[in-house]
Each structure stands twice: as structure tokens, then as C-alpha cells.
Amino acid sequence: MFLTFLYDFDMHISEYFLVFPEGDVQEIKGRLPFNSLVDMNGNVLSLPLPTNKMIVFKVAGIKTDERTGVSETYHFLDLMSAEELLEYTAKF
């Protein structure tokens, strides 16, 4: 007896990356919202920030490259200054 199995895999791989201002690239778990504030690991920060003396990046651009079976999403980051972060801190 001869069995024939037909497989129809619809495989698609999505990869997500941070691109730091210096050009370094780091893979992350998922897509980030445009203009969100993130830490060095790509975790979205909740507002208000506890202080303006933190290392915080803003997602300034997003680019997706799609090929057969693979999509790569790049999140371009801008480093926020302490002055810029004052706007996102709790005001007492």
C-alpha cells in the first residue's frame, strides 16, 4: 500500500528589529507603534515617566521589507534628550 501525503504550508516569517542612531541593529519580539517611547530593549514605556533622567528612544520611522515567505520590519530610533523627556514626566 502506497500513501501519498500532500502538504500545503503557508509559511510566513515576520522579524522585527530596532535600528539605533549609531546604526546598531537588535532583534525584538514584535512591532512597535510609531512615535512610541521605548527603552534600550524595545519595551514600550508607560507614561508618565518617573523621571527625565532615563535612556529613552522614540520610534521615528518604520520600514518593512517583504520577500517571499519573510517580512522584516525595522524600527528607526531617535535618542531623546532630558529636556525632551520633561514633557513626558509627571508634573507635580
Tell whether 5 is covered by a domain.
Answer: no
pTM of the model: 0.83
Tell whether 90 is covered by a domain.
Answer: no
- Mean pLDDT value across residues 10-24: 92
pLDDT of 85 over the 60 cut: yes
Nearest to 42 by CA among 72, 76, 4: 76
Tell whether 6 is covered by a domain.
Answer: no
pLDDT digits (tens, 9 = 90+) for 23-39: 999 999 999 999 999 99
Q: Kindly state the helix (H) or strand (E) to which residue 72 belongs, with its residue range.
A: strand 70-79
- Residue 23 is part of which domain span? 13-84
The count of domains in the chain is 1
Label residue 1 by pLDDT band (50, 70, 90): low
Owner of C-alpha cell 501519498: 4
Tell whether 32 is covered by a domain.
Answer: yes
Beta strand pairing status for 70-79 and 37-38?
unpaired
Q: How far apart are CA 79 and CA 34, in angstroms?
A: 14
Tell whether 7 is covered by a domain.
Answer: no
Tell whether 28 is covered by a domain.
Answer: yes
DSSP bridge pairs for 74: 17, 63
